[in-house]
């Protein structure tokens, strides 16, 4: 491999000799051989000092060395440069003092080279070369390596704009270099290296540092001026450092009025250079997509911080608190929720707890028994079965003294599904939805971001997320889902549910055809049925209780209560008992339908307008705002459509 490299270098030197002649090397002196018109001469005149620098740097590139400014002198009265000296970058010597161990290890680049050029300003205003030392005391770079020398590298304005755009989209640097390489026709033609881009980014961030709090406040104020429904609050320390900030825009606040029954709140992701915690409030829309209701950045996770945050959330969402909130087990958070959201059902995240098993159990126990714990948690038929299976695993694994497992068992009613399935959770039984949300936003934000950079990039990701919701709405309007057979109930729900929810219903509906229904008990106020899958040994027998006065069936699996989609067992009962060819209204949860947004008139901050007689102005304004938002969303995809809309709006004014 070394011989091959030597051959490449020899070939490069040979190429230099054929093009420019050989470098003279006598007593370790290197004399560049370049084209005559590229070489500076004493007495040579230039119109400006910038022309001097450009000419000498171009000469250096041809010769194979890098330049830097050694000194610059200005006239005190006119502040104009009257003398400037440029030297080879290897001029001088490196300090031999002991370096700090914390500093980066850098090679020695200074070799005491005396090559230089100086120019002075004449009475005519032109600059004249007065000093030119041609010889170098070191070898010169070959043409293949010249583009790596510092003075021949430069991040152009075009590259800066593209770099900024790619960085805002969170494109990694190595991928950015590949894009620049394709544009330039080769990596050697880019004109800069990755280090230069890093340095440019570092310079920009240093310029912003210190003004971050003011910039963030200006950004939020600007957003509120654009739309008065934008809500934000910032709390700073005595040193004017941001401790907490919270924001929610008009779209998020309206979204909460439709889908704010269940909220997932998580604080496990550091997002910016200050180490502040991202605290998003997220939910799920009628398409089963994650949506963001509000967001916060917190400097600490204390009860006081969480109380402040939940109070801000309540102010921003006047339609009322959520019915359920899902969080991790943070004690400070738990205390704050109890204080601020006393009527909200607080559920711990099962996924977070399961993730801790690998930390709380030794490797062998985890390997041998974790799967048993998973089955116990997710597959237990009822509370009694869970308790029995849990105790059996504890005994087998000899974990009776494990304090963490004991504490988890004591609070099982806050995180084990079988204890919680009677409460609606919109299918968000764990914070995996938040984890996937984090993964989504991570594609757009970076831990190097300043606060205002983070918020801007976060909003860009939010816009992408909302476009996916818009696209799902578009599909529901313009496409119909595939129906397997012409059952009246299946066709009915294909026209009511959103596409995603319909396919969930369809799966339950078709599985319901495989079950048998048997009446096992009757009392004065209810019937009890057993539902079992036909010809399948070991299948679970489910119980359905039907209230006589309401004709409402409740299944022991609690799927309808927890997810809002009727389970296969209830559908089997309705079908086999021939009660109705169509699904009764009380089994259709409105939040999963295509019409959930059409049946409510919501103002900008998320309040439903009910008293039309007293709020005719608000009603008209809200209806117009909703219509205008849809028109703008469609027009924004086309420059031509945007111009037409702008022209028409100006005419309307």
Tens-place pLDDT, residues 409-424? 999 999 999 999 999 9
For residue 286, what are its two tokens?
């009628």
Range with the poorest average pLDDT among 55-69, 184-198, 312-326: 184-198
- Nearest-CA neighbor of 192 among 240, 143, 258, 148? 148
**pLDDT for 451:** 79
Instruction: Please name the residues in contact with 494: beta carbons below 8 A apart, sequence gap of 6 or more.
Output: 480, 481, 483, 502
Q: Identify the H or E element spanning 174.
A: helix 173-184
Q: Any bridge partners for residue 425, and if so which?
A: none
User: Residue 544 pLDDT > 90, yes or no?
Assistant: yes
**pLDDT for 23:** 46
Whole-structure pTM value: 0.69
Are the C-beta atoms of 353 and 286 separated by less than 8 Å?
no
**pLDDT for 434:** 54
Question: What percentage of residues in the chain have a pLDDT greater than 70?
Answer: 81
Distances (CA, A) of 54 to 46, 49, 189: 10, 9, 18
CA dihedral 394, 399, 400, 401 (to 10 degrees): -160
User: What is the domain partition of the chain in residue ranges?
Assistant: 2-94+107-152, 157-208, 231-349+417-479, 364-414, 488-592, 616-652
CATH of domain 231-349+417-479: 3.30.420.10
Range with the poorest average pLDDT among 126-135, 184-193, 468-477, 544-553: 184-193
Of residues 610 and 577, more confidently modeled: 577
> Quick one: average pLDDT of 320-339?
94
User: Residue 520 pLDDT > 80, yes or no?
Assistant: yes
User: Residue 279 pLDDT > 80, yes or no?
Assistant: yes
**pLDDT for 5:** 46
User: Residue 74 pLDDT > 90, yes or no?
Assistant: yes
**pLDDT for 308:** 96
User: Residue 536 pLDDT > 80, yes or no?
Assistant: no
- Crossing angle of helices 383-397 and 363-379, in 10° steps, is 170
Of residues 391 and 266, more confidently modeled: 391
622 band by pLDDT with thresholds 50, 70 and 90: low
Distances (CA, A) of 270 to 219, 267, 440: 21, 8, 14
- Nearest-CA neighbor of 244 among 201, 306, 183? 306
Are the C-beta atoms of 257 and 608 separated by less than 8 Å?
yes
Instruction: Using DSSP, state whether 276 is helix, strand or coil.
Output: coil
User: Residue 67 pLDDT > 70, yes or no?
Assistant: yes
- Crossing angle of helices 157-168 and 173-184, in 10° steps, is 140
**pLDDT for 91:** 92
Distances (CA, A) of 7 to 20, 101, 139, 186: 20, 38, 17, 22
pLDDT digits (tens, 9 = 90+) for 472-504: 999 998 888 989 888 899 999 999 999 999 999
Instruction: Please name the residues in contact with 58: beta carbons below 8 A apart, sequence gap of 6 or more.
Output: 38
Are the C-beta atoms of 282 and 290 separated by less than 8 Å?
yes
User: Residue 228 pLDDT > 60, yes or no?
Assistant: yes
pLDDT digits (tens, 9 = 90+) for 33-42: 899 999 999 9
Question: What percentage of residues in the chain have a pLDDT greater than 90?
Answer: 47
What is the C-alpha to C-alpha distance for residues 54 and 483, in angstroms, rounded to an integer? Answer: 72
H-type helices in 443-498, by residue range? Answer: 451-478, 488-494
H-type helices in 227-330, by residue range? Answer: 250-259, 303-316
User: Residue 171 pLDDT > 80, yes or no?
Assistant: no
Are the C-beta atoms of 592 and 498 separated by less than 8 Å?
yes
459 band by pLDDT with thresholds 50, 70 and 90: confident
**pLDDT for 432:** 59
What is the C-alpha to C-alpha distance for residues 252 and 231, in angstroms, rounded to an integer? Answer: 10
pLDDT digits (tens, 9 = 90+) for 551-569: 889 999 999 999 999 999 9
User: Residue 51 pLDDT > 60, yes or no?
Assistant: yes
Mean pLDDT for the chain? 83
What is the C-alpha to C-alpha distance for residues 296 and 337, in angstroms, rounded to an integer? Answer: 16
**pLDDT for 647:** 84
- Nearest-CA neighbor of 471 among 285, 627, 648? 285
**pLDDT for 589:** 94
**pLDDT for 551:** 80
**pLDDT for 430:** 53
**pLDDT for 602:** 57
- Nearest-CA neighbor of 265 among 181, 340, 194, 190? 340
User: Residue 325 pLDDT > 70, yes or no?
Assistant: yes
What is the C-alpha to C-alpha distance for residues 264 and 284, in angstroms, rounded to an integer? Answer: 9
What is the C-alpha to C-alpha distance for residues 622 and 604, in angstroms, rounded to an integer? Answer: 7
**How many other C-beta atoms can be found within 10 angstroms of the C-beta atom of residue 451?**
23
> Quick one: average pLDDT of 312-316?
95
């Amino acid at each position: 491999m070394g011989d091959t490299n030597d051959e490449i270098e020899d070939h490069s030197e040979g190429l230099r000799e054929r093009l420019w002649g050989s470098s003279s090397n006598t007593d370790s002196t290197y004399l560049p051989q370049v084209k005559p018109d590229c070489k500076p001469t004493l007495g040579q005149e230039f119109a400006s000092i910038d022309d001097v620098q450009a000419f000498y740097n171009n000469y250096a590139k041809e010769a194979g060395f890098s330049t830097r400014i050694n000194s610059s002198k200005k006239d005190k009265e006119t502040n104009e440069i009257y003398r400037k000296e440029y030297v080879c970058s290897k001029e001088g010597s490196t300090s031999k003092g002991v370096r700090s161990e914390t500093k980066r290890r850098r090679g020695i680049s200074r070799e005491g080279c005396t090559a230089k050029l100086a120019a002075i300003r004449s009475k005519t205003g032109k600059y004249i070369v007065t000093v030119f030392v041609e010889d170098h005391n070191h070898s010169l770079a070959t043409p293949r390596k010249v583009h790596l020398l510092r003075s021949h590298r430069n991040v152009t304005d075009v590259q800066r704009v593209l770099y900024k755009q790619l960085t805002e989209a969170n494109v990694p640097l190595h991928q950015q270099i590949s894009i620049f390489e394709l544009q330039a026709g080769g990596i050697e033609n880019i004109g800069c290296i990755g280090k230069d881009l890093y340095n440019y980014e570092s310079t920009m961030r240093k310029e912003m540092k210190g003004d971050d709090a003011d910039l963030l406040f200006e950004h939020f104020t600007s957003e509120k001026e654009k739309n008065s429904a934008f809500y934000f609050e910032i709390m700073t320390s005595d040193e004017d450092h941001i401790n907490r900030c919270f924001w929610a825009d008009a779209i998020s606040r309206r979204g909460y009025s439709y889908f704010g029954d269940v909220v997932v709140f998580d604080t496990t992701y550091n997002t910016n250079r200050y180490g502040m915690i991202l605290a998003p409030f997220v939910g799920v829309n009628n398409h089963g997509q994650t949506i963001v209701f509000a967001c916060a950045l917190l400097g600490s996770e204390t009860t006081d911080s969480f109380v402040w945050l939940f109070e801000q959330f309540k102010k921003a969402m006047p339609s009322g608190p959520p019915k359920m909130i899902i969080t991790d087990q943070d004690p400070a958070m738990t205390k704050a929720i109890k204080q601020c959201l006393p009527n909200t059902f607080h559920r711990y995240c099962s996924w977070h707890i399961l993730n801790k098993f690998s930390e709380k159990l030794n490797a062998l126990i985890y390997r041998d028994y974790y799967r048993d714990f998973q089955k116990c948690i997710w597959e237990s038929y009822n509370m009694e079965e869970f308790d029995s299976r849990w105790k059996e695993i504890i005994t087998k694994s000899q974990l009776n003294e494990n304090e963490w497992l004991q504490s988890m068992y004591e609070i099982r009613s806050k995180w084990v599904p079988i204890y919680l399935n009677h409460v609606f959770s919109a299918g968000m039984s764990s914070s995996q939805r938040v984890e996937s949300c984090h993964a989504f936003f991570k594609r757009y934000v970076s831990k190097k971001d300043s606060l205002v950079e983070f918020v801007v990039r976060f909003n860009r990701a939010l816009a992408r997320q909302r476009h996916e919701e818009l696209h799902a709405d578009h599909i529901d309007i313009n496409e119909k889902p595939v129906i397997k057979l012409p059952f009246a109930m299946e066709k009915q729900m294909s026209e009511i549910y959103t596409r995603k929810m319909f396919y969930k219903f369809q799966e339950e509906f078709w599985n319901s055809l495989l079950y048998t229904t048997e009446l096992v008990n009757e009392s004065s106020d209810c019937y009890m049925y057993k539902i079992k899958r036909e010809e399948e040994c070991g299948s679970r027998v489910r119980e359905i209780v039907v209230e006589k006065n309401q004709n409402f069936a409740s299944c022991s699996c609690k799927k309808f209560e927890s997810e809002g989609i009727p389970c296969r067992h209830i559908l089997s009962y309705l079908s086999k008992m021939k009660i109705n060819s169509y699904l009764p209204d009380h089994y259709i949860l409105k939040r999963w339908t295509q019409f959930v947004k059409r049946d409510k008139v919501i103002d900008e901050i998320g309040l439903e307008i009910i008293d039309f007689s007293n709020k005719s102005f608000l009603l008209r304004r809200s209806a117009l705002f909703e219509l205008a938002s849809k028109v703008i969303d469609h027009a924004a995809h086309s420059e031509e459509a945007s111009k037409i809309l702008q022209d028409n709006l100006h005419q309307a004014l």
